[in-house]
Amino acid sequence: MAQSAVQPTVTPTVTPAKLPIGAIVPWAVFFGILMLVLLYFVGAEQGATSVMSGDNVHEWVHDARHLLGFPCH
């Protein structure tokens, strides 16, 4: 029987890129504050802590309130 001439292949090892925590923290804080502001406008605006007068904000986020389970009427 003939010998095989195919050499075994070597699989290169993959090392994940390291992200410094200092680069992630400012973005995490920014998006966290943004989510809290959006949650306020969807869940609490037009109530006792209303920032804006009128019904405009309520009408803009009306469907989102129902989708997230907030009662609004």
Q: What is the pLDDT of residues 24-42, one digit of tens each?
A: 999 999 999 999 988 887 7
Contacts 24+ apart (CB under 8 A), 59-65: none
61's CB contacts (< 8 A; 6+ apart) are: 41, 42, 45
Whole-number mean pLDDT of the chain? 79
- Between these two residues, 6 and 10, which has the higher pLDDT value? 10
Is residue 70 very low, low, confident or very high in pLDDT (cuts 50, 70, 90)? confident
Q: Which 8-state DSSP code applies to residue 70? A: -
How do residues 40-68 score in pLDDT, each as one tens digit? Answer: 877 776 666 667 777 777 777 777 778 87
